[in-house]
Structure 1
């Protein structure tokens, strides 16, 4: 297997802090939340975070940035040690730091410190740009990209350059292979590049306004900047890739509610890496959308364990949307967590009706699915008919399912101990005596609920019918009709 191609990251490094706790009351002297029990986490930010993402993909990464002196710079160097090679350029002022205060995982305040800006390039930095086989520019508007603009313009004529822009920074250099603004950033850049008419023009037949604006903005930026393509990131809706003509919409693989801080860096780092490997922009953007979605699903910034107070490990899961994180979030907001379980081999109308009913009685539905080995122990050597990866994918596609988790044991008791749902839902064809997990659910005040089950729906019967040849199926239908 070919090793991932190396990547040069050029841009403004930041140091990010998170203070994450719980808020259940307002301060007596002002209408502001009181956050208590906060854990402190520190991680690379800006271009440094993008470089870490690329390194986590197995790439040899060099980061060209301005760090300067001071405690923040020393902390960031330590966090990057053994992860990326650093080529430093001069910095005036103090390294920029961001501090977020979060309650129940939701930011309530951000503090910005440090006014440092890159103060010029060095020969070593120019040589690194000139020798690169692929470049990601993470421009956070603090001067690094400007200091190396001439070298980057020369590089863009020879190698793939991905530019992740910031409204405080300058435009990408001409010939940039791919630019990755958010929808809001694209609007701002397009307004600067060309006067936007009132209302943004006609939307076209049935077009969603946000998609129309993103497509129009991308076309304007390609013309104005002289770049090859623009991928406008749309958050949970994925990304819109334009080469200046009809755009390609790359939807997110699933809805991933959560902390999106850093998702843009994950997107840009993945796209740049795939272009470095020789992928076309369409494939690079597809991979970047999936990587950014998975990053948010896995907890976003909270899932980065660079330098922080000890935290309990995340529950094991085969779902892209972490069931444990979802359950904690719903519980913290006073909602009801519902879980349902089964093999779900050959998903049929009875399964769907059960899951729809289960979702209606709570605020989220987590489906616990038997692994292939677990199904074989329960159903025999010929089962499952559908492997677990496909069963999970089909379940995720149901609008009533919020998350899926796989368990390998004969019963889901271990998984239930981790999720601690308020309600454990099963089909009405089960008797409570057949549910050994019922006492467990009751131990934390949960309730086992039986839901109506559509008669005549059975995976076993479906499999038996599918095994018949056409003549046998015809005879069976005739007998059922009384002929």
Structure 2
């Protein structure tokens, strides 16, 4: 990307008061929240900027901030991760406070009606926009994206700088050189009229693209993913990965990742797919609540590394529940019926199945320069799609011994083709009283045979 990702929009301070409730108040039918802990994070455009920085982007946030306590807290939260080019906020910083009992919100308090002050922009804001490699406008209807001076700078950007516009019903329309608008399903419905479902969202997207004269519209559909409409062709659906967690802010993560992907040269379909994947990972990592907890921990990553780390979380969760952790490993290059049979049998031996997958370099050392046929990313993706697989993790060594020392499965499974030789990792597994089990193979099934037949 030739320049930073510039996020333009309204920033709020989001506060969670999280405690537990075991009783109702004696003077009203409301829960009593006890032992509440306070966690803060940027909201709105500030959250989008923070999540873009977590993906590795260089980020400049153009927003409006007051010099009040909430504004100072926002600056402190943002300063380690993004550069801020501030407009002046007329009035107190908006603060959104959620009161939560465990995983459930019981009330929300909104305060602060500050709006961006009209007038010329500072040299820092002008320089940020003129040097942008990509722009995300995160409009929360509080005046930043509606500033005439800001809109004029956006309209003068060259065509090579993609603009993604995340709209709000109370905000203004996107500038005409916007490449992609990203309303959520509810916003699209409110902007265009009644109608639910994928077909209705496609109609809404096309209507908004025509109304705003933008190149494309992607309607985010929550756990169903995002629907991209561009031109006259059929819509493109990027499905979300299953994830449970606090979804607050997932749309900001989607828009930020999509804008960054477009800035690095990605096509619209690729960028939207990446945005959905990022939003799913954000929710799986605990969403807004998880982010607030990580911001409170010095040095913690804003968003965990991703699905590969889930293997250890799955194993630990299974152990805490008193279950049996089963693991198996291999190349799994060109997944075939023999692999599926082994995985089905292995899963029946316990309460979760973790598959340890040889990296591409590890496969080449074991199988030769023509292998693997498919990359580790593709192999793990196919494995995770199987209902018997709970998690995958890639290892780069010639044997999984070091990985198993961290994972510590109760049962380590391999195929019966190892019956006449000692597994190098067997002693390691037995060191914590784990069991090594060989399972029967389907005769005649192997990747080598498939490749030979294909040739």
Please give the TM-score of this superposition, normalised by the length of structure 2.
0.76
1:357-385, Cα deviation, whole Å (9 max, x unpaired): 444676654322344666688x6778965
For the structure 1 residues 298 and 119, does the alpha-carbon distance in structure 2 shift closer, same or farther, using more than 3 Å as the test?
closer
Contact 2:364 2:372 in 1 (8 A): no
Contact 1:166 1:185 in 2 (8 A): yes
Alignment of 1:364-379 (within 5 A): 364-371=352-359
**Preserved contact between residue 90 and residue 115 of structure 2 (Cα < 8 Å):** yes
Residue of structure 2 in register with 1:463 after alignment: 448
Measure how far apart 1:341 and its partner are. 1.3
Contact persistence 1:17–1:42 (CA under 8 A): yes
State whether residues 12 and 47 of structure 1, in contact with CA within 8 Å, keep that contact through their aligned partners in structure 2: yes
- Residue in structure 2 matched with residue 114 of structure 1 by the alignment: 111
Q: CA deviation at 1:254?
A: 4.2
* Per-residue Cα deviation, 1:128-159 (whole angstroms, up to 9, x for no partner): 6874654321112333223x156416633644
- 1:144 and 1:359 map into 2 onto residues whose CA distance is 53
Answer whether contact 1:375 1:384 (CA < 8 A) is retained: yes
Mark the CA change 1:218 to 1:416 in structure 2 (over 3 Å): closer, same or farther.
same
Determine whether 1:76 maps to 2:69.
no
Q: CA deviation at 1:65?
A: 1.8
- Given candidates 384, 388, 392, the residue that maps to 2:380 is 392
Q: Using a 3 Å threshold, how does the CA distance of structure 1 residues 336 and 26 change in structure 2: closer, same or farther?
A: farther
Shift of 1:9: 2.1
Q: Which one of the candidate residues 194, 198, 203 is aligned to 1:211?
A: 198
The 2-side partners of 1:389 and 1:412 are apart by 18
Distance of 1:315 and 1:262 partners within structure 2: 13
Residue of structure 1 equivalent to 2:339: 351
1:78–1:415 distance in 2 versus 1, CA, 3 Å:
same
Partner of 2:218: 231
CA contact 1:345–1:384 (8 Å) conserved in 2: no
Distance 1:314 1:186, change over 3 A: closer
Compared CA separation, residues 135 and 251, structure 1 to 2 (3 A):
closer
**Structure-2 change in CA distance of 1:210 and 1:343 (3 Å):** same
Q: Is the 8 A contact 1:294 1:320 kept in 2?
A: no
The residue number in structure 1 matching 2:295 is 307
Cα distance change, pair 281–344 in 1 and its aligned pair in 2 (3 A): closer
> Which runs of structure 2 are paired with 1:20-99 in the superposition (5 Å)?
26-27=22-23, 41-56=39-54, 59-81=57-79, 83-99=82-98
Give the Å deviation of 1:230: 1.0
When the two structures are superposed, what TM-score results if normalisation uses the length of structure 1?
0.72
Q: What displacement does 1:186 show?
A: 1.7
> In structure 2, what is the Cα distance between the partners aligned to 1:116 and 1:262?
20
Look up the SS of the partner of 1:69 in the other structure: coil
- Change over 3 Å in CA distance of 1:234–1:369 after alignment to 2: same
**Residues 42-95 of structure 1, C-alpha deviations (whole Å, 9 max, x = no match):** 332211122233445555533222221222211211222252132222231243
Kindly state the Cα deviation for residue 215 of structure 1 after the two structures are TM-superposed. Answer: 0.5
CA distance in 2, matches of 1:165, 1:213: 18
How far does residue 428 in structure 1 lie from its aligned partner after superposition? 7.2
State the SS of the aligned residue for 2:145: helix
Verify the 8 A CA contact 1:40 1:308 in the aligned structure 2.
no
Distance, in Å, in 1 between the alignment partners of 2:403 and 2:454 is 41
The answer as to whether partners of 1:367 and 1:404 remain within 8 angstroms in 2 is yes
Counterpart contact for 2:318–2:325, Cα < 8 Å: no
Asked if structure 1 preserves the Cα contact closer than 8 Å seen for 2:228 and 2:272, the reply is yes
The answer for unaligned runs of 5 or more in structure 2 is none
C-alpha separation between the residues in 2 aligned to 1:428 and 1:285?
A: 40
Q: Corresponding residue for 1:124? A: 121
Is 1:242 paired with 2:238? no
Q: Deviations over 1:340-367 (max 9, x none)?
A: 2111444332321232344467665432
Maintained 8 Å contact 1:40/1:309: no
Report the equivalent of 1:473: none
Instruction: Tell me by how many angstroms 1:228 deviates.
Output: 2.9
Number of aligned pairs?
438
Task: Tell me the C-alpha RMSD between the 2 structures.
Answer: 4.4
What are the residue-to-residue correspondences of 1:186-205 with 2, within 5 Å? 186-191=188-193, 196=194, 200=195
SS of match in other structure, 2:197: helix
Q: Displacement of 1:404 after TM fit?
A: 0.8
Contact 1:177 1:229 in 2 (8 A): yes
With over 3 angstroms needed to count, the CA separation of the structure-2 counterparts of 1:366 and 1:91, relative to structure 1, is farther
Larger Rg: 1
Aligned residue in 2 for 1:145 = 145
CA deviation string 1:275-328 (max 9, x = no partner): 445555344323323433444455544257763146989999774572234456
